[in-house]
Amino acid sequence: MANLNIDSIKERTFDAIVIGSGMSGGWAAKELGDKGLKTLVLERGRDVKHLKDYPTTNMYPWEFAHHGQITDELRQANPIVSKCYAFGEDAQHFFVKDKEHPYVQEKPFDWIRGYQVGGKSLLWARQTQRWSDFDFEGPARDGFAVDWPIRYKDIAPWYSHVEKFAGISGNMDGLAELPDGEFLPGFPLNAVEQRFSKHVKSRYQNRHVISARCAHLSKPNQIHLDQGRGQCQKRTLCQRGCPFGGYFSANASTIPWALRSGHVTLRPFSVVESIIYDEKLGKATGVRVIDTNTKEAIEYYADVIFLNAAALNSNLVLLNSTSNRFPNGLGNDSGTLGKYVAFHNYSAHISAEWDGDKEWTTDGRNPAGGGYIPRFRNVYKQETDFLRGYAAGFYAYRSRETSSNGIGEELKKNLVKDELGNWQVGSHMMGETIPKESNYVALDKTQKDPWGIPQLKISVVYDDNDAKMKKDYVEQMTEMFTSAGFTNIQASVDNRAPGLDIHEMGGVRMGNDPKTSMLDKWHRLHACKNVYVTDGASMTSTSCQNPSLTYMAFAARAVDHWVREKSYQ
């Protein structure tokens, strides 16, 4: 390298490096900046600046060439990402196209990615629930994976910390299995959601339908205004990027905040090839980056590395960081790196109709999406022939009863009919999956990506537990819908591959024992204590909550730990 002189090395040396600028990397960057550490944030994709880089955010449906539909050319070129529900004409520019970053599907896996500053935090479904000890104690109680090295009390203050800043709307529901948090006012349930909530409460022990908790500013506090964000305007066009900063994204919140600290440098177009390990010092000293524009390799140095590349790419970075000390990937003394990958099972839905409450409807749009049913299966004790359980969404809506019958004047009249139809209700499952050694990611031995980095080989499948849980979800929801008086109940199960849930987790799991896990209770590699992994890769088990809030709390807690202890030294 031409620029290996002292000055250049100094220019490339920081207190901390954060790999990734999305949900968890943004939090690491913000916390490091707040604490005054000179920090470099590396992002493999392009920059997406809040407001400026949301090209479709204020477009009306008719302003899109295909009124929102994607073209066949785009679909044919992207069989994977075009399966994603949010991959429409308005947001397709925030998704990785299939050919841009190839990977090997040893078993079918739909890997949905967002390579840009902010990552998938621009695109997420914004549902945020805390874990409880029913979740953290799951593996130990039920005998799978390894015991989590942390409990709710360890993470609770960090949930509070990130909730206050991100802005989470919800109600104090007082449920042991879904702890309350620092909430802005919740979005209320509508007439039929309330009816179902009351019905479930009266008929079933420990089953609840609550307002979905979500990362929207229902009523902003000063800390949100200080970020330049404002009240959620109920557009529900979030995937385009929000001109009000009404929902939490790294782009609207943590990244600009971090940059304003004056301590943080953001470098887009920077793919991390590997983390550099110094055998004499016994620690990581920096990262090797490939500039995606120039294809030049550049090294950056720091005392600590935060790896937040999103679950599977964090696995890839560690697997590709080999040395004499770590021939099988950085920190991989246990041989567990890349293994015990799990996800969420979203493969069942149910819909029905309610012939009542006709005097009520809704007005405007609900950014929370409706109700949330926390896990009620196997919470207090094992009660089914499968392990763990599922949460579920629940929503009710009424639409104008239009028809497109006829032609001419008749058709025109049918299309503007202003009568409301019956209430429609629906639910989808969010099931926990059990991490297993046989569900893994690894480096492909021959194929490389456009930057010369081995492609990731993914081998993740459903198991019998997932099938039983799915069946139970359909049975239980059908029963709950039937007893509520809903009619025309239709369950639909799909055969989607894992991945489309966009909740892939694990591979760099936490645990107490370095022989069976990668990370300690502070999210540091057991064997290389100045590398922290605080994204989905660190998950020992998945439970069934939407995971982003937990990653945010992990990242903030890990930065705090590094700054307080610097304990590897």
Partner 1 sequence: MNRRIAIRNMALIMGSAALLPACLSGDKGKPIVTLKQLKLDAAQENLVSNLCETILPKTSTPGAKDLGINLFVFKMIDDCFDKKGQDDFLVGLEEFETAVDKKYGKSFNDLTVAERSAFANDIEKQSKVPNNKDKDNKANGFYWAVKGQTVFGYTTSKYFMTEQIVYELVPGRYNAMFPVKKKAAV
Residues in the site for partner 1, rule: CB under 8 A? Answer: 58, 60-62, 65-73, 75-76, 187-191, 193, 233-235, 237, 358-367, 400, 404-409, 411-412, 415-416, 418, 420
Closer of 76 and 324 to partner 1 (Cβ): 76
Q: How far is the CB of 85 from partner 1 (least distance, A)?
A: 17
Decide if 68 contacts 22 (C-beta within 8 A): no
Residue 467, Cβ neighbours under 10 Å: how many? 14
Going 315 to 332 to 532 to 321, the CA torsion angle's sign is negative
- The two three-digit tokens of residue 457, written as one number: 């080989």
Closer of 211 and 540 to partner 1 (Cβ): 211
Q: How far is the CB of 382 from partner 1 (least distance, A)?
A: 37
Strands 423-432 and 348-354: antiparallel
Closer of 66 and 295 to partner 1 (Cβ): 66
Closer of 40 and 81 to partner 1 (Cβ): 81
Single out the residue of 123, 73, 54, 124 nearest to residue 82, CA to CA.
73
Decide if 193 contacts 369 (C-beta within 8 A): no
Q: How far is the CB of 193 from partner 1 (least distance, A)?
A: 8
What residues does 304 pair with on adjacent strands? 16
Greatest C-alpha distance within the chain: 83
Closer of 93 and 234 to partner 1 (Cβ): 234
Strands 210-211 and 524-525: unpaired
Closer of 201 and 400 to partner 1 (Cβ): 400
Q: How far is the CB of 84 from partner 1 (least distance, A)?
A: 17
Decide if 94 contacts 116 (C-beta within 8 A): yes
Place of tokens 């297993």: 436
Q: How far is the CB of 102 from partner 1 (least distance, A)?
A: 23
Q: How far is the CB of 172 from partner 1 (least distance, A)?
A: 18
Q: How far is the CB of 323 from partner 1 (least distance, A)?
A: 49
Residue 75, Cβ neighbours under 10 Å: how many? 14
Secondary structure of residue 399 in the 3-state scheme: coil
State the Cα–Cα distance between residues 165 and 263, nearest whole angstrom: 19
- The two three-digit tokens of residue 422, written as one number: 């019956």
Closer of 49 and 67 to partner 1 (Cβ): 67
